[in-house]
Amino acid sequence: MTTTDTIIPKVHFTDLGLIDYQQAWDYQEELFKFNVDAKIENRKAEQTVTETTNHLLFCEHPHVYTLGKSGDETHLLLSEALLKQKGATYYKINRGGDITYHGPGQIVGYPILDLDYFFTDIHKYLRYLEEIIILTLADYGIKAGRYEGYTGVWLDADDPLKARKICAMGVRCSRWVTMHGFAFNINPDLEYFNNIVPCGISDKQVTSLEKELNRKVDVEEVKEKLKKHFTQLFEVDLVLSK
């Protein structure tokens, strides 16, 4: 290999479809643990014994609320009985951030990446995830951006009275291995956000691509755009997992 050759990281892509939250979380943990354990083993051996692997998972979840490790439980506005009535579940999880909702019509993305392949900067990583969503929204003629002091992707972020969130984010990172990720509202039932204080922010609205365009959007089409922007921004070879 010459000095001008560049190794392009490989990222394995899997679309899990509609999947129970706990099942997807367990799978993430399995991939995450493999990478963390490999890095510990490699460090002890002072050489690469086991190669880490990079993954991008897409899925949708049945109605579920998840609370990050720094979140406030009072931001869930439903009792256990009302949760059951709404057909929703609730989990306290190990990502950053507060409470959010996942449900059908929302694309949830879980990158399990070894950032040593890319850059060891978690803030830059979050900005990259946001940029993927911003570029995808631009494909639909929607100008999106960041709201100062908060993660995620917003519309009319420069106007506090109009600012509304279209994509929430929360990640976990250990030994520069990531898990969890983003939740991008395409065609979800936005009424479910009324049962929480989304991301702990009480004075801002949540929106969706459907609401902004005033039409249903092809979720598979959006996934393709997300994959394209992910591949270009992270400069990776995205391969379909079997």
User: Which one of the listed residues 59, 167, 173, 199 is annotated catalytic?
Assistant: 199
| Alpha carbons 213 and 216: distance in angstroms, whole number | 8
Structure tokens at 79: 């009792």
Quote the CA–CA distance of 164 and 155 in Å, as a whole number. Answer: 5
Inter-residue contact 99 to 71 (CB < 8 Å): yes
Q: Is 205 exposed, middle or buried (0-12, 13-18, 19+ CB in 10 A)?
A: middle
- Determine phi and psi for 4, rounding to 5 degrees: -90, -10
* Spatial distance between the Cα atoms of 153 and 130, rounded to a whole number of angstroms: 6
Q: Whole-angstrom Cα distance, residue 106 to residue 149?
A: 24
Q: What SS3 class is residue 156?
A: coil
Tell me, yes or no, if 173 is annotated catalytic: no
Instruction: Tell me the backbone φ, ψ of residue 70, rounded to 5 degrees.
Output: -100, 10
Residues taking part in catalysis: 199
